[in-house]
Chains A and B, each alone.
Chain A
Amino acid sequence: QQKVQQSPESLIVPEGAMTSLNCTFSDSASQYFAWYRQHSGKAPKALMSIFSNGEKEEGRFTIHLNKASLHFSLHIRDSQPSDSALYLCAVRYQGGRALIFGTGTTVSVSP
């Protein structure tokens, strides 16, 4: 059973600072990588996804992927209190047809 690990489990970030979240996976042949955000009591919503090594930026959000090091990350620039949520990374392993999610990182942005 493939696993996806996230770090840290939780963090507190001052408003306006950069938030950096990490995700590791176990197979460099994995094919699809995504980040989801879940506000308290709500459904998860897709944030960003990436297929190949490199960087992708959308607004305040940047995703980095390095398959060789089995690592991808999410960076949130100019963090806002509305960014306070549970962040879930997810991987589709080669041969799999569904996303495997990590255990999540709880982010609190303090005003």
Chain B
Amino acid sequence: EAAVTQSPRSKVAVTGGKVTLSCHQTNNHDYMYWYRQDTGHGLRLIHYSYVADSTEKGDIPDGYKASRPSQENFSLILELASLSQTAVYFCASSVTANSDYTFGSGTRLLVI
């Protein structure tokens, strides 16, 4: 069964610290995405990738970096975590830009 696994499931980070969120998919999908969701709201696109070793900026990339070292793995890096980055982060994958996304279970990040 197609799967997207995110780690950690939750994290508490200190303001100014570095945070790395990881995503691993076994779907053999080329496309991977990072979205953030603030309480009760929709998803906002941070970064995405459609091929290994290449990433693209989404709508809200400021304060975030992304890394796609292989087809299976896609990381989101917060170099200097800030309070405003407290949110739930979802990773997703898809076969093409026009196909259904498979989402991971999310990472709940609290920055204090």
Contacts and interface: CB of A to CB of B under 8 A. Distances in A.
Contacts of B74: none
Interface residues of A, number: 26
A36 B59 CA distance: 19
A97 B56 contact: yes
B-side interface size class: 20 to 34
B112 to A, nearest CB: 22
Contacts, number: 58
Interface string A45-59: 110010100000000
Given A43-B106, A97-B48, A103 B98 contact: no
Interface in A1-54: 1, 6, 31-32, 34, 36, 42-46, 49, 51
Interface of A: 1, 6, 31-32, 34, 36, 42-46, 49, 51, 86, 88, 92, 96-104, 106
